[in-house]
Protein backbone atom coordinates (compact mmCIF):
# COMPACT_ATOMS: atom_id res chain seq x y z
CA UNK A 1 0.00 0.00 0.00
CA UNK A 2 1.51 3.33 -1.03
CA UNK A 3 1.82 5.95 1.70
CA UNK A 4 -0.19 9.15 1.54
CA UNK A 5 3.03 11.05 0.81
CA UNK A 6 3.88 8.84 -2.18
CA UNK A 7 0.37 9.16 -3.52
CA UNK A 8 0.43 12.96 -3.26
CA UNK A 9 3.78 12.97 -5.03
CA UNK A 10 2.39 10.72 -7.81
CA UNK A 11 -0.58 13.03 -8.33
CA UNK A 12 1.74 16.05 -8.50
CA UNK A 13 3.92 14.26 -11.03
CA UNK A 14 0.88 13.42 -13.17
CA UNK A 15 -0.26 17.04 -13.03
CA UNK A 16 3.17 18.23 -14.11
CA UNK A 17 3.04 15.81 -17.04
CA UNK A 18 -0.34 17.11 -18.19
CA UNK A 19 0.69 19.41 -21.01
CA UNK A 20 -1.96 21.67 -22.41
CA UNK A 21 -1.96 21.67 -26.18
CA UNK A 22 -0.99 24.94 -27.84
CA UNK A 23 -2.67 25.44 -31.19
CA UNK A 24 -3.08 28.68 -33.08
CA UNK A 25 -6.74 29.79 -33.13
CA UNK A 26 -8.14 29.30 -36.61
CA UNK A 27 -11.24 30.42 -38.48
CA UNK A 28 -12.45 26.83 -38.60
CA UNK A 29 -12.28 26.57 -34.79
CA UNK A 30 -14.68 29.53 -34.56
CA UNK A 31 -17.10 27.71 -36.88
CA UNK A 32 -17.02 24.63 -34.65
CA UNK A 33 -17.64 26.41 -31.35
CA UNK A 34 -21.02 25.37 -29.95
CA UNK A 35 -21.24 22.57 -32.54
CA UNK A 36 -20.87 18.81 -32.12
CA UNK A 37 -17.98 16.83 -33.59
CA UNK A 38 -18.11 13.02 -33.54
CA UNK A 39 -14.73 11.28 -33.56
CA UNK A 40 -14.13 7.60 -34.27
CA UNK A 41 -10.81 6.53 -32.84
CA UNK A 42 -8.88 3.27 -33.40
CA UNK A 43 -8.93 0.14 -33.66
CA UNK A 44 -5.58 0.31 -35.45
CA UNK A 45 -4.72 3.94 -34.56
CA UNK A 46 -5.53 3.07 -30.94
CA UNK A 47 -3.00 0.26 -30.69
CA UNK A 48 -0.19 2.56 -31.85
CA UNK A 49 0.19 4.27 -28.48
CA UNK A 50 -1.16 7.70 -29.42
CA UNK A 51 -3.98 7.69 -26.89
CA UNK A 52 -2.54 10.43 -24.65
CA UNK A 53 -2.06 12.76 -27.63
CA UNK A 54 -5.56 12.03 -28.89
CA UNK A 55 -6.97 12.78 -25.43
CA UNK A 56 -5.06 16.08 -25.31
CA UNK A 57 -6.60 17.06 -28.67
CA UNK A 58 -10.11 16.27 -27.44
CA UNK A 59 -9.47 18.24 -24.24
CA UNK A 60 -8.31 21.22 -26.33
CA UNK A 61 -11.48 21.19 -28.44
CA UNK A 62 -13.75 20.83 -25.41
CA UNK A 63 -12.00 23.74 -23.63
CA UNK A 64 -12.52 25.82 -26.78
CA UNK A 65 -16.28 25.15 -26.63
CA UNK A 66 -16.63 22.34 -29.18
CA UNK A 67 -18.90 19.46 -28.10
CA UNK A 68 -17.09 16.20 -28.78
CA UNK A 69 -18.51 12.67 -28.84
CA UNK A 70 -15.94 9.88 -28.99
CA UNK A 71 -16.69 6.46 -30.51
CA UNK A 72 -13.92 3.90 -30.17
CA UNK A 73 -13.16 0.70 -32.04
CA UNK A 74 -11.33 -2.32 -30.70
CA UNK A 75 -11.03 -4.87 -33.50
CA UNK A 76 -7.34 -5.68 -32.93
CA UNK A 77 -7.87 -6.05 -29.14
CA UNK A 78 -10.86 -8.35 -29.71
CA UNK A 79 -8.87 -10.52 -32.15
CA UNK A 80 -6.05 -10.71 -29.59
CA UNK A 81 -8.41 -11.79 -26.80
CA UNK A 82 -10.03 -14.40 -29.08
CA UNK A 83 -6.65 -15.81 -29.97
CA UNK A 84 -5.66 -15.98 -26.30
CA UNK A 85 -8.82 -17.99 -25.59
CA UNK A 86 -8.33 -20.21 -28.62
CA UNK A 87 -11.49 -19.06 -30.41
CA UNK A 88 -11.17 -19.12 -34.20
CA UNK A 89 -13.14 -16.51 -36.15
CA UNK A 90 -15.63 -18.01 -38.62
CA UNK A 91 -16.82 -16.48 -41.88
CA UNK A 92 -19.76 -16.99 -44.24
CA UNK A 93 -19.52 -15.51 -47.74
CA UNK A 94 -16.59 -13.40 -46.48
CA UNK A 95 -18.58 -11.94 -43.58
CA UNK A 96 -17.34 -12.50 -40.05
CA UNK A 97 -19.80 -14.38 -37.85
CA UNK A 98 -20.26 -13.24 -34.23
CA UNK A 99 -21.22 -16.27 -32.15
CA UNK A 100 -22.10 -16.08 -28.46
CA UNK A 101 -18.52 -16.61 -27.24
CA UNK A 102 -17.22 -13.89 -29.59
CA UNK A 103 -19.94 -11.45 -28.49
CA UNK A 104 -19.02 -12.02 -24.83
CA UNK A 105 -15.36 -11.27 -25.58
CA UNK A 106 -16.25 -8.21 -27.68
CA UNK A 107 -18.43 -6.76 -24.90
CA UNK A 108 -15.82 -7.46 -22.28
CA UNK A 109 -12.94 -5.99 -24.29
CA UNK A 110 -14.84 -2.97 -25.65
CA UNK A 111 -16.81 -1.90 -22.56
CA UNK A 112 -14.40 -3.22 -19.99
CA UNK A 113 -10.98 -2.39 -21.29
CA UNK A 114 -10.84 -0.10 -24.32
CA UNK A 115 -13.63 2.18 -23.12
CA UNK A 116 -12.06 2.50 -19.67
CA UNK A 117 -8.64 3.29 -21.20
CA UNK A 118 -10.07 6.07 -23.39
CA UNK A 119 -12.00 7.58 -20.46
CA UNK A 120 -8.91 7.43 -18.23
CA UNK A 121 -6.79 9.15 -20.90
CA UNK A 122 -9.38 11.92 -21.30
CA UNK A 123 -9.68 12.48 -17.55
CA UNK A 124 -5.86 12.65 -17.31
CA UNK A 125 -5.90 15.27 -20.07
CA UNK A 126 -8.29 17.34 -17.96
CA UNK A 127 -11.44 16.47 -19.92
CA UNK A 128 -14.42 15.15 -17.92
CA UNK A 129 -15.57 11.97 -19.64
CA UNK A 130 -18.22 9.28 -19.17
CA UNK A 131 -17.93 5.85 -20.79
CA UNK A 132 -21.12 4.26 -22.05
CA UNK A 133 -21.97 1.36 -24.31
CA UNK A 134 -24.93 1.44 -26.65
CA UNK A 135 -26.78 -0.63 -24.02
CA UNK A 136 -26.73 2.20 -21.48
CA UNK A 137 -29.99 4.12 -21.64
CA UNK A 138 -30.63 2.28 -24.93
CA UNK A 139 -28.19 4.73 -26.49
CA UNK A 140 -27.89 2.55 -29.61
CA UNK A 141 -31.07 0.67 -30.46
CA UNK A 142 -30.01 -1.97 -33.00
CA UNK A 143 -31.36 -4.65 -35.30
CA UNK A 144 -29.68 -7.80 -36.55
CA UNK A 145 -27.58 -7.34 -39.68
CA UNK A 146 -28.64 -9.88 -42.29
CA UNK A 147 -26.97 -9.07 -45.62
CA UNK A 148 -28.55 -10.56 -48.73
CA UNK A 149 -26.46 -12.86 -50.92
CA UNK A 150 -27.18 -15.24 -53.80
CA UNK A 151 -27.05 -18.95 -52.94
CA UNK A 152 -25.69 -21.67 -55.27
CA UNK A 153 -29.02 -21.82 -57.14
CA UNK A 154 -28.98 -18.03 -57.64
CA UNK A 155 -31.73 -17.39 -55.10
CA UNK A 156 -31.41 -14.39 -52.79
CA UNK A 157 -30.97 -15.45 -49.17
CA UNK A 158 -30.36 -13.48 -45.96
CA UNK A 159 -27.12 -14.44 -44.23
CA UNK A 160 -27.19 -15.16 -40.52
CA UNK A 161 -24.12 -13.43 -39.07
CA UNK A 162 -25.01 -14.06 -35.43
CA UNK A 163 -24.92 -11.27 -32.88
CA UNK A 164 -24.00 -8.41 -35.16
CA UNK A 165 -26.18 -5.43 -35.90
CA UNK A 166 -26.84 -2.03 -37.42
CA UNK A 167 -27.96 1.09 -35.57
CA UNK A 168 -31.69 1.74 -35.80
CA UNK A 169 -32.02 4.71 -33.47
CA UNK A 170 -29.74 6.86 -31.33
CA UNK A 171 -30.88 8.19 -27.95
CA UNK A 172 -29.57 11.71 -28.55
CA UNK A 173 -31.25 12.91 -25.32
CA UNK A 174 -28.74 10.91 -23.26
CA UNK A 175 -25.83 12.50 -25.15
CA UNK A 176 -27.31 15.97 -24.58
CA UNK A 177 -27.72 15.27 -20.85
CA UNK A 178 -24.06 14.29 -20.51
CA UNK A 179 -22.84 17.20 -22.59
CA UNK A 180 -25.10 19.60 -20.71
CA UNK A 181 -23.30 18.54 -17.54
CA UNK A 182 -19.92 19.14 -19.15
CA UNK A 183 -19.10 15.47 -19.80
CA UNK A 184 -17.69 14.11 -23.04
CA UNK A 185 -19.46 10.83 -23.93
CA UNK A 186 -17.19 7.92 -24.88
CA UNK A 187 -19.19 5.25 -26.71
CA UNK A 188 -18.38 1.53 -26.98
CA UNK A 189 -19.85 0.10 -30.21
CA UNK A 190 -22.37 -2.33 -28.71
CA UNK A 191 -26.05 -1.98 -29.54
CA UNK A 192 -29.18 -3.43 -27.95
CA UNK A 193 -32.28 -4.84 -29.65
CA UNK A 194 -35.82 -4.02 -28.51
CA UNK A 195 -35.82 -7.35 -26.64
CA UNK A 196 -32.59 -6.56 -24.81
CA UNK A 197 -30.07 -8.62 -26.82
CA UNK A 198 -26.59 -7.10 -27.18
CA UNK A 199 -25.27 -6.84 -30.72
CA UNK A 200 -21.75 -6.09 -31.88
CA UNK A 201 -21.72 -3.11 -34.27
CA UNK A 202 -18.91 -1.84 -36.47
CA UNK A 203 -17.53 1.28 -34.74
CA UNK A 204 -17.42 3.24 -38.01
CA UNK A 205 -21.14 2.57 -38.50
CA UNK A 206 -21.83 3.74 -34.92
CA UNK A 207 -19.91 6.99 -35.46
CA UNK A 208 -21.76 7.65 -38.73
CA UNK A 209 -25.16 6.99 -37.14
CA UNK A 210 -24.41 9.16 -34.10
CA UNK A 211 -23.05 11.99 -36.28
CA UNK A 212 -26.22 11.94 -38.38
CA UNK A 213 -28.50 11.81 -35.33
CA UNK A 214 -26.85 14.79 -33.62
CA UNK A 215 -26.44 16.69 -36.93
CA UNK A 216 -22.71 16.91 -36.31
CA UNK A 217 -20.69 19.72 -37.86
CA UNK A 218 -18.08 17.06 -38.62
CA UNK A 219 -17.58 13.31 -38.22
CA UNK A 220 -13.89 12.44 -38.10
CA UNK A 221 -12.56 8.91 -38.60
CA UNK A 222 -9.00 8.58 -37.31
CA UNK A 223 -7.31 5.52 -38.78
CA UNK A 224 -3.93 4.11 -39.81
CA UNK A 225 -3.68 5.61 -43.31
CA UNK A 226 -3.48 9.22 -44.50
CA UNK A 227 -7.05 9.09 -45.81
CA UNK A 228 -8.77 7.60 -48.84
CA UNK A 229 -6.17 6.58 -51.42
CA UNK A 230 -7.11 6.36 -55.07
CA UNK A 231 -4.62 3.50 -55.32
CA UNK A 232 -4.26 1.86 -51.93
CA UNK A 233 -0.73 0.69 -52.71
CA UNK A 234 0.40 4.25 -53.47
CA UNK A 235 0.59 6.54 -50.39
CA UNK A 236 0.92 9.56 -52.71
CA UNK A 237 -2.51 8.98 -54.21
CA UNK A 238 -4.39 10.62 -51.31
CA UNK A 239 -7.74 12.09 -52.32
CA UNK A 240 -8.18 15.42 -50.48
CA UNK A 241 -11.87 15.95 -51.14
CA UNK A 242 -14.78 13.78 -52.21
CA UNK A 243 -18.38 14.63 -52.91
CA UNK A 244 -21.02 12.09 -51.87
CA UNK A 245 -21.37 10.60 -55.36
CA UNK A 246 -17.61 10.30 -55.86
CA UNK A 247 -17.17 8.45 -52.55
CA UNK A 248 -20.04 6.15 -53.49
CA UNK A 249 -18.37 5.46 -56.85
CA UNK A 250 -15.06 4.54 -55.15
CA UNK A 251 -16.89 1.82 -53.19
CA UNK A 252 -18.72 0.50 -56.26
CA UNK A 253 -15.52 0.50 -58.34
CA UNK A 254 -13.68 -1.49 -55.64
CA UNK A 255 -11.04 1.24 -55.15
CA UNK A 256 -11.70 1.07 -51.42
CA UNK A 257 -11.59 -2.38 -49.85
CA UNK A 258 -11.42 -4.05 -46.44
CA UNK A 259 -11.89 -1.78 -43.43
CA UNK A 260 -12.10 1.30 -45.67
CA UNK A 261 -15.48 0.11 -47.02
CA UNK A 262 -17.46 0.47 -43.75
CA UNK A 263 -15.58 3.73 -43.07
CA UNK A 264 -16.47 5.30 -46.42
CA UNK A 265 -20.03 3.95 -46.12
CA UNK A 266 -20.26 5.49 -42.63
CA UNK A 267 -19.23 8.88 -44.11
CA UNK A 268 -22.07 8.57 -46.62
CA UNK A 269 -24.59 7.52 -43.96
CA UNK A 270 -23.55 10.41 -41.71
CA UNK A 271 -24.06 12.92 -44.56
CA UNK A 272 -27.35 11.34 -45.67
CA UNK A 273 -28.77 11.59 -42.15
CA UNK A 274 -27.72 15.18 -41.47
CA UNK A 275 -24.02 15.56 -40.64
CA UNK A 276 -22.41 18.49 -42.49
CA UNK A 277 -19.14 16.78 -43.41
CA UNK A 278 -17.10 13.66 -42.75
CA UNK A 279 -13.31 13.26 -42.69
CA UNK A 280 -10.95 10.32 -42.80
CA UNK A 281 -7.47 11.12 -41.47
CA UNK A 282 -4.31 9.55 -40.05
CA UNK A 283 -4.69 8.97 -36.32
CA UNK A 284 -1.04 8.01 -35.89
CA UNK A 285 0.30 11.53 -36.37
CA UNK A 286 0.60 13.85 -33.38
CA UNK A 287 -2.14 16.52 -33.19
CA UNK A 288 -4.06 14.26 -35.64
CA UNK A 289 -7.54 15.32 -34.55
CA UNK A 290 -6.74 19.05 -34.50
CA UNK A 291 -4.96 18.87 -37.85
CA UNK A 292 -7.96 17.06 -39.34
CA UNK A 293 -10.35 19.77 -38.15
CA UNK A 294 -8.76 23.15 -37.65
CA UNK A 295 -6.34 24.31 -40.39
CA UNK A 296 -7.61 26.08 -43.49
CA UNK A 297 -6.50 22.99 -45.40
CA UNK A 298 -7.14 20.10 -43.00
CA UNK A 299 -5.29 16.77 -43.16
CA UNK A 300 -6.88 13.69 -44.71
CA UNK A 301 -9.88 13.22 -46.96
CA UNK A 302 -12.99 15.40 -46.65
CA UNK A 303 -16.35 13.98 -47.74
CA UNK A 304 -19.13 16.53 -48.28
CA UNK A 305 -22.68 16.30 -49.68
P1 LIG B 1 -9.54 1.10 -38.44
O2 LIG B 1 -8.96 0.18 -37.44
O3 LIG B 1 -9.11 2.52 -38.26
O4 LIG B 1 -11.03 0.95 -38.61
P5 LIG B 1 -9.23 -0.47 -40.87
O6 LIG B 1 -8.05 -1.39 -40.95
O7 LIG B 1 -10.55 -1.09 -40.57
O8 LIG B 1 -8.86 0.68 -39.83
O9 LIG B 1 -9.37 0.35 -42.24
C10 LIG B 1 -8.29 1.08 -42.75
C11 LIG B 1 -7.54 0.26 -43.80
O12 LIG B 1 -8.28 0.21 -45.01
C13 LIG B 1 -6.21 0.80 -44.25
O14 LIG B 1 -5.18 0.50 -43.35
C15 LIG B 1 -6.01 0.13 -45.61
O16 LIG B 1 -5.28 -1.07 -45.46
C17 LIG B 1 -7.42 -0.25 -46.04
N18 LIG B 1 -7.82 0.33 -47.33
C19 LIG B 1 -8.47 -0.33 -48.31
N20 LIG B 1 -8.70 0.44 -49.36
C21 LIG B 1 -8.16 1.65 -49.08
C22 LIG B 1 -8.07 2.90 -49.81
N23 LIG B 1 -8.56 3.04 -51.05
N24 LIG B 1 -7.48 3.95 -49.21
C25 LIG B 1 -6.96 3.82 -47.96
N26 LIG B 1 -7.01 2.68 -47.23
C27 LIG B 1 -7.61 1.60 -47.78
MG1 LIG C 1 -12.07 -0.86 -39.11
Q: Rounded to the nearest whole angstrom, what is the distance from the C-alpha of residue 216 to the centroid of ligand 1?
A: 23
In tens, the pLDDT along 269-305 reads: 999 999 999 999 999 888 999 999 999 999 999 999 9
Nearest to 202 by CA among 259, 138, 278: 259
Pocket of ligand 1 (CB under 6 A): 42-45, 73, 75, 223-225, 228-229, 232, 255-260, 263
Question: CA 137, CA 192: separation in Å to the nearest integer?
Answer: 10
Q: Best substitution site from 258, 285, 303 to test ligand 1's pocket, by max atoms within 8 Å of Cβ?
A: 258
Question: At residue 200, does pLDDT exceed 60?
Answer: yes
Query: Rounded to the nearest whole angstrom, what is the distance from the C-alpha of residue 148 to the centroid of ligand 2?
Result: 21
**Ligand 1: which residue has its CA nearest to atom 6?**
259
Q: Helices 115-124 and 51-63: crossing angle, nearest 10°?
A: 60
Nearest CA to ligand 1 atom 5: 259
Start-to-end CA span in the chain (Å): 57
The CA 136 to ligand 1 mean position distance, Å, reads: 30
Measured CA to CA, the distance from residue 106 to residue 104 in angstroms comes to 6
Residue 220, pLDDT score = 98
Q: Which ligand is nearest to the CA of 260?
A: 1
pLDDT of residue 20: 72
Q: What's the mean per-residue pLDDT of the chain?
A: 93
Q: Average pLDDT for residues 156-167, to the nearest whole number?
A: 96
Number of residues in the chain:
305
| 18, pLDDT greater than 70 | no
The mean pLDDT value for 80-108 works out to: 93
**Average of pLDDT values for 239-268?**
97
- The predicted pLDDT at position 22 comes to 84
Compute the distance from residue 47 Cα to the ligand 1 centre, in Å.
15
Cβ(222)–Cβ(281) under 8 Å? yes
Reported as a pLDDT band with limits 50, 70 and 90, residue 4 is confident
CA of 158 to the centre of ligand 2 (A): 23
Pocket-testing residue among 42, 225, 239, ligand 1, by greatest number of atoms within 8 A of Cβ: 225
Looking only at Cα atoms, what is the longest distance across the chain? 74
Average of per-residue pLDDT across 10-14? 61
For the cut 70, the answer to whether the pLDDT of residue 48 exceeds it is no
Amino acid sequence: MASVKTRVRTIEKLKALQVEVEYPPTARLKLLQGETVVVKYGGHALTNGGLAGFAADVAYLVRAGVRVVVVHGGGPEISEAMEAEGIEPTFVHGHRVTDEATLKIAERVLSGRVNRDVVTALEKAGCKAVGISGRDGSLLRARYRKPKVKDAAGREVALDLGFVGDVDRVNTRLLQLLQGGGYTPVIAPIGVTSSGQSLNINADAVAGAVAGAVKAASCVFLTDVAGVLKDKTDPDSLVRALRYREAEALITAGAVTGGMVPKTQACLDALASGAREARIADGRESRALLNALLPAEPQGTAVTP
